[in-house]
Structure 1
């Protein structure tokens, strides 16, 4: 998204605008050696999330997850597995530029398990205002959208891949 774009997420809201697009994104669920989760604070809605972004033409979902993590956090990861595929119509995202609606999206997210292999935390100012490792016991202290919290909760569980 371009600078100045705002994002509004809706969850199970009958008043949410009707989607005009469906796009695939990849997210990286990364735990460090102490079991802390990598989170970043988005600049377009001030909510905490795991590294996430659109899959570009010419790349795989795995490549997109690795790229997004590097771009948003400065950290290098490698994909180790699948948390799940999250495509519920309960989640609608509106992208605004000023007061104009650019897009109303129903996302399809493929959430990947990944492990840290290098880099250092350096938030990309256009993407993240903060990046940090968070103890899962402290997640309730962070403002996380319910759709993202569902991905996180499933990633923290020992259950196999989730598909909706």
Structure 2
């Protein structure tokens, strides 16, 4: 299970990362979900580790499957932090991304639909529960996302 985030700032720029192992493309920040971790907390952790940015997540924009790997893409807003690289990222930045220039940044075919879906769609609700006893930990209501296509 992996998570990634279509994260925008106050200028409506999109947060992108370039990793060392996929240096040919920019991509949405994210990564693997650790055992016992909820999807939303995993994504907030991954984004902060990779970029130095803190985020507020709003909802889910898509669910994708690559063989046995399931990837959930969230929409969110940056809330603070300072852009920086990490052990995983060789470059991080906010980019004025839209459907006319997405291919200049996102070079891998499997990532392009995820970004385009997040740009033009709506996010749907997400809930995270603790079990035994059951307790709602987080509910993201989902929200309309500005159409940039």
The TM-score, its normalising length taken from structure 2, stands at 0.75
Displaced runs of 4+ in structure 1, greater than 6 A? none
1:154 is aligned to 2:132: no
Say which SS state the counterpart of residue 156 (structure 1) adopts.
Answer: helix
How far off is 1:160 after superposition? Answer: 5.2
Q: How many residues align?
A: 121
Separation in 2, partners of 1:87, 1:56: 18
Q: Which residue of 1 aligns with 2:95?
A: 134
Q: Over residues 90-126 of structure 1, what are the superposed CA-to-partner deviations in whole Å (9 max), with x where a residue is unaligned? A: xxxxxxxxxxxxxxxx4210111111111010110x2
Query: Over aligned residue pairs, what C-alpha RMSD do you find?
Result: 1.5
Separation in 2, partners of 1:130, 1:123: 6
Q: Which runs of 5+ in 2 are unaligned?
A: 125-149
Higher relative contact order (CA 8 A, sep 6+): 1
Separation in 2, partners of 1:79, 1:160: 10
Q: Which residue of 2 aligns with 1:38?
A: 15
Q: Over residues 3-46 of structure 1, what are the superposed CA-to-partner deviations in whole Å (9 max), with x where a residue is unaligned? A: xxxxxxxxxxxxxxxxxxxxx00111101122211101011120
Q: Which has the higher strand share?
A: 1
Q: Which residue of 2 aligns with 1:119?
A: 81
Identify the match of residue 53 of structure 1 among 31, 34, 40: 31
Q: Which residue of 1 aligns with 2:72?
A: 110
Separation in 2, partners of 1:78, 1:160: 13
Identify the match of residue 59 of structure 2 among 57, 61, 81: 81
